[in-house]
């Protein structure tokens, strides 16, 4: 049984295809992960979250699951998985799996049966509806572009619902079969030793009445979150599901992906404890500065910078409201967004920024979740062709940008700073041709110079990697687990907070978010726990651009 409580968890997110290739086919795999467990242990994490590893046609990199009970053959076998779990556990590392509960692949046997036969017992496991005025049932838009509706091949005036790609039909959670099957899948993996799940897109499992349209100026399908995100019924399904998971495994750890959840919903989704997520990931921390976005081009290919003021107030709200309730997930990047350094840091300041941002984020109250490669200071990398994005929306963006006179290089550079795919590249282990990730050309590759490799950073005491180790060591101290969070009132160029257990046991964290030198009166906090580009003298903290400092009394 796992001995970790939620608040002690330090998570490392692995995108399996890009972590480490063990058999020379250019695709990362389970054996690759097993081979590098010691590296993760030394980093100081204690929980590994794997993006989907199930059999999948890979329309959406594994989030389109065709068989929930088998490992995708490109990633390995069930024996490889069992070995990974056993070796991880032996090192004190827990494994949690992505749990895809909102949809299946269109290749899943249920959908195949439902598609071929209107009377199939699996028909009602998906969502179907009659069209309206010769078109789809309503004007709701898919997150992946176009309508959420796709024609039923058996009936030209009937449609099925897909919130993501059309090859990913949404499940009907009102159908008991769906609920029973999802529980069975979870049980199967718990029996294989997993310690918990990351619930993928769970906030979408309930939908509103389909006979409603979004108010809209154009005939285009519209994103319609009010009709398919965070409906009250989601909580009913969720609580029932998690309560049952707890019966199977009382100490299970549940990380819920709740991209658009606000703080009120975060409270709902994380209480009461035994039938809720331990923590939820919101995308709302990251307020966006859209001042550079050209309004006549699709936003998907245009970088947006982090809006510091907005970020600061969102973060404060989550820290305060979840005090005594649950632990927020603390993260900067994941597989669905550009890497943080590309959203925040000037290239030449990457290293200082990586360290400062780690200090800022992970020593707050909550569960740290580090996206693979972040510990090296990886940025999103520029992809070589439009096709590399594997996204029709980028093809469309590129076409429109070209018409406006953008050059090819500029299109690729901008789109790479904006799109999730450029944040999913192989991890560099050494300085050999394919960075020690593989000995052949990896499944996705960029010629752009990446960060210093793991081997180089290991032997450099000043590296981002060694800094992350120190941060994660501090993170395990009681004051950073239990301490109250107090944000100090400063200009937006500084981010200063205290973690407080009592008058004597407290720490002060000072981060300089600006390209200017900054000072901050630090009073009785004179003992330096960790610093980069900063020092203390005469009760003043002095921070170089993007410097950071952790002080104790
Ligand atoms: C989640 C995943 C994302 C995926 C989507 C559909 O948001 O993080 O990568 O595309 O769900 O499964
Ligand atoms: Ca491989």
Domain ranges of the chain: 6-100+250-471, 481-552
Q: How confident is the model at residue 60, as a pLDDT?
A: 96
By alpha-carbon position, which residue is closest to atom 3 of ligand 1?
A: 336
By alpha-carbon position, which residue is closest to atom 9 of ligand 1?
A: 336
Q: Is the pLDDT of residue 212 over 80?
A: yes
Distance 86 CA to ligand 2 centre (A): 20
- Whether 48 contacts 11, CB under 8 Å: yes
What is the CATH code of the structural domain delimited by 481-552?
2.60.40.1180
Q: Which ligand is nearest to the CA of 19?
A: 2
- What does DSSP say about strands 329-330 and 367-371: parallel, antiparallel, or unpaired? parallel
> Encoding tokens for residue 213?
């349209």
Distance CA(333)–CA(296), nearest Å, equals: 28
| Tens digits of residue pLDDT in 90-103 | 999 999 999 999 99
- Whether 419 contacts 300, CB under 8 Å: yes
Indicate if 257 belongs to the active site.
yes
Atom in ligand 1 nearest the alpha carbon of residue 336: 9
Distance 201 CA to ligand 1 centre (A): 6
Q: How confident is the model at residue 421, as a pLDDT?
A: 98
Ligand 1: does its nearest atom lie under 6 Å from the Cβ of 201? Answer: yes
Mean pLDDT confidence for 373-395: 97
Q: Is the pLDDT of residue 354 over 80?
A: yes
By alpha-carbon position, which residue is closest to atom 2 of ligand 1?
A: 200
Indicate if 200 belongs to the active site.
yes
User: Which of the following is catalytic: 64, 106, 170, 257?
Assistant: 257
Q: How does 157-172 read in b/e, with b if 16+ C-beta sit within 10 Å?
A: ebbbbbbbbbbbbbbb
In 3D space, the residue among 413, 311, 423, 327 whose CA is nearest the CA of residue 369 turns out to be 327
Pocket probe for ligand 1: among 13, 58, 60, the residue whose CB has the most ligand atoms within 8 Å is 60
CATH of 6-100+250-471, one of 3.20.20.80, 3.40.50.2000, 3.10.20.740, 1.10.3720.10: 3.20.20.80
Distance CA(367)–CA(188), nearest Å, equals: 26
Beta-carbon contacts of 115 under 8 Å, excluding residues fewer than 6 positions away, are 106, 152, 153, 154
State which residues have CB under 5 angstroms from ligand 2, the bound ion. 21, 23, 25, 27, 29
In 3D space, the residue among 278, 263, 195, 268 whose CA is nearest the CA of residue 237 turns out to be 268
- What does DSSP say about strands 149-152 and 155-161: parallel, antiparallel, or unpaired? antiparallel
Q: At what angle do helices 408-418 and 392-403 cross, to 10 degrees?
A: 140
* Confidence band of 2 (pLDDT split at 50, 70, 90): low
List, in sequence order, every beta strand (DSSP E) within 203-357.
Answer: 222-223, 253-257, 279-281, 288-289, 305-306, 329-330
Q: How confident is the model at residue 3, as a pLDDT?
A: 81
Distance 81 CA to ligand 1 centre (A): 22
User: Which of the following is catalytic: 200, 268, 278, 375?
Assistant: 200
* Confidence band of 1 (pLDDT split at 50, 70, 90): low
Q: How confident is the model at residue 165, as a pLDDT?
A: 98
The SS3 call for residue 531 is strand
CA atoms within 13 A on the CB side of 11: 33
Q: What is the mean pLDDT of the chain?
A: 97
By alpha-carbon position, which residue is closest to atom 11 of ligand 1?
A: 201
Ligand 1: does its nearest atom lie under 6 Å from the Cβ of 72? Answer: no
Q: How confident is the model at residue 450, as a pLDDT?
A: 82
Domains 6-100+250-471 and 481-552 share a fold: no
Which residue has 């890009």 as its token pair? 18
Ligand 1: does its nearest atom lie under 6 Å from the Cβ of 391? Answer: no
Pocket probe for ligand 1: among 14, 52, 57, 63, the residue whose CB has the most ligand atoms within 8 Å is 63
| Tens digits of residue pLDDT in 368-383 | 999 999 999 999 999 9
Q: Is the pLDDT of residue 336 over 80?
A: yes
Mean pLDDT confidence for 47-75: 98
Ligand 1: does its nearest atom lie under 6 Å from the Cβ of 110? Answer: no
By alpha-carbon position, which residue is closest to atom 7 of ligand 1?
A: 201
- Whether 516 contacts 545, CB under 8 Å: yes
**Whole-model pTM over 0.95:** yes
Query: Which residues on neighbouring strands pair with residue 507, listed in sequence order?
Result: 499, 552
Q: Which ligand is nearest to the CA of 54?
A: 1
* Confidence band of 419 (pLDDT split at 50, 70, 90): very high
| Tens digits of residue pLDDT in 217-238 | 999 999 999 999 999 999 999 9
Distance CA(349)–CA(125), nearest Å, equals: 51
Ligand 1: does its nearest atom lie under 6 Å from the Cβ of 165? Answer: no
Ligand 1: does its nearest atom lie under 6 Å from the Cβ of 336? Answer: yes
Q: Is the pLDDT of residue 7 over 80?
A: yes
Distance CA(99)–CA(293), nearest Å, equals: 34
Mean pLDDT confidence for 449-453: 91
By alpha-carbon position, which residue is closest to atom 4 of ligand 1?
A: 63
By alpha-carbon position, which residue is closest to atom 8 of ligand 1?
A: 336
């Amino acid at each position: 049984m796992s001995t970790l409580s939620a608040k002690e968890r330090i998570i490392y997110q692995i995108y399996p295809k890009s972590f480490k290739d063990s058999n020379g086919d250019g695709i990362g795999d389970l054996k690759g992960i097993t081979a590098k467990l010691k590296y993760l242990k030394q980093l100081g994490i204690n929980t590994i979250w794997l993006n989907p590893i199930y059999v999948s046609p890979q329309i959406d990199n594994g989030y389109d699951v065709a068989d929930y009970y088998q490992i995708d053959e490109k990633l390995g076998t069930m024996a490889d998985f069992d070995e990974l779990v056993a070796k991880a556990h032996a090192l004190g590392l827990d494994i949690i799996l992505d749990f895809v509960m909102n949809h299946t692949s269109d290749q899943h046997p249920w959908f195949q049966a439902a598609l071929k036969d209107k009377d199939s017992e699996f028909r009602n496991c998906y969502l179907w509806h009659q069209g309206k005025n010769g078109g789809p049932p309503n004007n709701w838009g898919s997150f992946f572009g176009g309508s959420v509706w796709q024609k039923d091949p058996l009936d030209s005036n009937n449609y099925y619902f897909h919130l993501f790609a059309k090859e990913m039909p949404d499940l009907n959670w009102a159908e008991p079969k769906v609920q029973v099957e999802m529980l069975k899948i979870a049980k199967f993996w718990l029996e294989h030793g997993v310690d918990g799940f990351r619930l993928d897109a769970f906030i979408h499992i309930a939908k509103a009445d389909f006979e409603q349209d979004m108010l809209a100026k154009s005939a285009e399908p519209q994103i319609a979150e009010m009709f398919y995100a965070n409906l009250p019924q989601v909580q009913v399904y969720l609580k029932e599901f998690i309560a049952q998971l707890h019966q199977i495994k009382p100490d299970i750890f549940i990380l819920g992906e709740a991209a658009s959840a606000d703080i009120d919903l975060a409270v709902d989704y994380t209480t009461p404890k035994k039938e809720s997520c331990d923590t939820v990931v919101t995308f709302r921390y990251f307020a966006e500065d859209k001042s550079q976005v050209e309004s006549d081009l699709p936003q998907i290919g245009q970088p947006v910078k982090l809006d510091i003021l907005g970020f600061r107030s969102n973060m404060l709200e989550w820290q305060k409201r979840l005090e005594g309730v649950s632990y927020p997930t603390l993260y900067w990047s994941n597989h669905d967004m550009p890497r943080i350094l590309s959203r925040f840091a000037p290239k030449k300041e990457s290293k200082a920024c990586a360290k400062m941002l780690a200090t800022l984020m992970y020593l707050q109250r909550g569960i740290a979740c580090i996206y693979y490669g972040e510990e090296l200071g990886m940025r999103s990398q520029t992809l070589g062709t439009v096709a590399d994005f594997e996204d029709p929306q980028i093809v469309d963006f590129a076409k429109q940008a070209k018409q406006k006179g953008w050059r090819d290089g500029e299109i690729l550079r901008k789109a790479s700073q904006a799109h999730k795919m450029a944040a999913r590249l192989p991890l560099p282990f050494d300085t050999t041709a394919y960075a020690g990730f593989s000995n052949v050309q990896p499944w996705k590759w960029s010629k752009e110079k990446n960060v210093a490799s793991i081997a180089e950073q290991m032997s450099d005491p000043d590296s981002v990697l060694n800094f992350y180790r120190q941060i994660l060591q501090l993170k395990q101290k009681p004051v950073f687990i239990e301490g109250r969070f107090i944000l100090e009132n400063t200009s937006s160029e500084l981010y200063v907070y205290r973690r407080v257990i009592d008058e004597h046991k407290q720490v002060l964290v000072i981060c300089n978010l600006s390209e200017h030198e900054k000072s901050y009166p630090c009073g009785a906090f004179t003992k330096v726990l960790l610093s980069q580009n900063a020092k203390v003298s005469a009760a003043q903290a002095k921070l170089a651009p993007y410097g950071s400092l952790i002080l104790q009394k």
